[in-house]
Chains A and B, each alone.
Chain A
């Protein structure tokens, strides 16, 4: 079963705009990761945030984590057409850290 759910399911924006995607999960976690997937093939790791962190930055990416609400957000600033992809959050579980459970994904389309 899915641990996380992303919303929106799909997002369309113009180049230069910011894109925000949200992820909610169900059980207590040790860390949360965000991945990107192009064209339905392999995923690429973007960023990891630990349960004791509230915010993390990497280039144009900003991730927040609210463990009280069991939610995370991924912000992509100054989006580019090349950011067009699906974005997934993935969490481990406090009692089982050995595997990740992926959310349902947000499909981002950035128009030039």
Chain B
């Protein structure tokens, strides 16, 4: 009866390195969302998946950010050539369907770029 899980919970990386953040949604949830939250701020939408396809990538801040989802389940958010402004908490959520659905959030990955 697991909820949404994310790994790692914390990641410290040097500027210029690539990082991969993982999200494991609730089993059976077809929609998966990635958000970013800077310290003391609201949630910034990054991308969402319906199944394995990403109908809306409009929130990705730059081409250094990419995400994929395979098998309609696990998703990976990749940030290439990390910059200090990428430091934030990255939150993943899943829902059963999209329209008007409650989203279930994971605990987030706190990324620190030094």
Query: Do these two chains interact?
Result: yes
Interface residues of A (CB under 8 A from B): 2, 30-31, 33, 35, 40-45, 48, 50, 88, 92, 96-105
- Chain B 69-113 residues near chain A, CB threshold 8 A: 89, 91, 93, 98-100, 102-108
What A residues does B7 contact at CB under 8 A? none
Give complex CA distance A48, B99 in Å. 12
Give complex CA distance A41, B4 in Å. 12
**In the assembled complex, how far is the CB of residue B16 from the closest CB belonging to chain A, in whole angstroms?**
26
**A41-B108, A102-B42 as given contacts; A30 in contact with B100, CB under 8 Å:** yes
Instruction: Determine if B102 and A45 form an interchain contact, defined as CB atoms under 8 angstroms apart.
Output: yes
**In the assembled complex, how far is the CB of residue A112 from the closest CB belonging to chain B, in whole angstroms?**
24
What A residues does B102 contact at CB under 8 A? 33, 45, 48
**A42-B105, A99-B48 as given contacts; A31 in contact with B42, CB under 8 Å:** no
What B residues does A92 contact at CB under 8 A? 99-100
As a 0/1 sequence over residues 1 to 40 of chain B, the CB contacts with chain A under 8 angstroms (1 = contact) are 0001000000000000000000000000001010101010
